Chain A
């Protein structure tokens, strides 16, 4: 924003600020921001899932429980990796 203001001051008129704000790249910047926000929220979902698997396996104890907990951790790891990947690429 500061860059845009600086550019507008250099350009000297507010008329040229509006095209900068609504340039061709603006939708992509918004999509990138939304994707990153969604992936950050997904990390919270991954944590909730791990917590819930713990609650479920406490309610019903069976031989499959360790495998289910592992699925929860693998899912969380995948969510972290995708988030890191997104931060690096976008």
Chain B
């Protein structure tokens, strides 16, 4: 999937309703971002071929967010250590313990299997822990482990306050930070942590909120 330069027709699918403005018409942020992109990316505007469970027919995903890949760095280092461990430690450890060759071989195999399992699990959790902003609501999807899933929804018009926080040398260099969204929904606060371009995300949420208010004032119906 390749990124293409943004045009209105990309987002609208060629149709234009006089009553309903398209996101690109009211959002400077979306107008400045390329449409689609690598499905493994941590910041995708108007993703192509991506839908979430419970998505309504006329609901459009405007921004798909994951944590910046820098959060995987400890796991990458752990993975490298686990891959190298049998080559470095086991040749000394096994003769010391006096393990039979067949048992030592099975332990090495099991070790690499465990390494693969741990890394796949962390990668999957990173890949699917996501935050989605649509033209109607925001959705926070959390997979805290392989057996625990939590999905929180909040309508855009329930947003009350938006704050951003960028801290740390590495995060400042990479422009990674956290966006806090206070809502009047069942979940009082959404924390979108370790995401790229937190200021852009906050601005987009503000633009969506303003548009929702305009829709109410002008009596525009979706």
Contact = CB atoms under 8 A, between A and B. Distances in A.
Interface string A55-68: 11011111110001
B103 A28 contact: yes
Contacts of B141: 59-60
A62 B36 CA distance: 12
Interface centre among B40, B51, B103 (most CB of A within 10 A): B103
Nearest to B130: A60
B102 A90 contact: yes
A62 B39 contact: yes
Interface centre among A52, A64, A89 (most CB of B within 10 A): A52
Interface string A25-68: 00010011001001100100110110011011011111110001
A46 B117 CA distance: 8
B103 A59 contact: no
Contacts of B114: 42
A64 B105 CA distance: 35
Given A45-B117, A49-B146, A82-B109, A64 B39 contact: yes
Nearest to A71: B120
A48 B116 CA distance: 15
A82 B99 CA distance: 19
Interface in A4-37: 28, 31-32, 35
B121 interface: yes
A61 B146 contact: no
Given A35-B103, A71-B120, A75-B116, A59 B110 contact: no
A59 B38 CA distance: 19
B52 A59 contact: yes
Interface residues of A, number: 33
Interface centre among A42, A71, A86 (most CB of B within 10 A): A86
B149 interface: yes
Nearest to B113: A82
Nearest to B1: A63
B49 interface: yes
B110 A39 contact: yes
A90 B149 CA distance: 38
A39 B40 CA distance: 31
B147 A48 contact: yes
Contacts of B53: 58-61
A28 B120 contact: no
Contacts of B75: none
A48 B124 CA distance: 13
Nearest to A53: B124
Given A56-B143, A58-B53, A82-B113, A64 B103 contact: no
27 contacts: A28-B103, A32-B103, A39-B110, A42-B113, A42-B114, A42-B117, A45-B117, A48-B147, A49-B120, A52-B124, A56-B143, A58-B53, A59-B52, A59-B53, A59-B149, A60-B51, A60-B130, A61-B51, A61-B52, A62-B49, A63-B1, A63-B49, A68-B124, A72-B120, A78-B116, A82-B106, A86-B110
